[in-house]
Amino acid sequence: MEKLINKWKLNKGLLAKKMNMPLGTFCNKLSSKHSTQFSDAELIQLKMILKELQDDIFNEVDIDFNNALKAIVKANK
């Protein structure tokens, strides 16, 4: 999780808030170098939040292949 969140520079404050967790606690649990880690229930909760984000992104960027092809063909005329 740490690599994914850091790679995409996801807002840790927002993720912590959605998990009802202080930001410091969230960051400590996220860090592989810290002794405190997410519980199984917390990991499931975090994954559900990221899944919700995935669904929102998918709904926003979803394109119909045929419509996209028509737009490309029209643009090239």
So what's the pLDDT on residue 44? Answer: 98
Is the pLDDT confidence value at 77 over 80?
A: no
Question: How do residues 2-32 score in pLDDT, each as one tens digit?
Answer: 999 999 999 999 999 999 999 999 999 999 9
**CA triplet 8, 26, 53: central angle to 5 degrees?**
40
First to last CA, the chain: 46
Q: What percent of the chain has pLDDT over 90?
A: 73
For the chain, what are the domain ranges?
2-75
* pLDDT tens-digit series, residues 28-52: 999 999 999 999 999 999 999 999 9
Record the pTM. Answer: 0.79
| Amino acid 40: pLDDT | 97
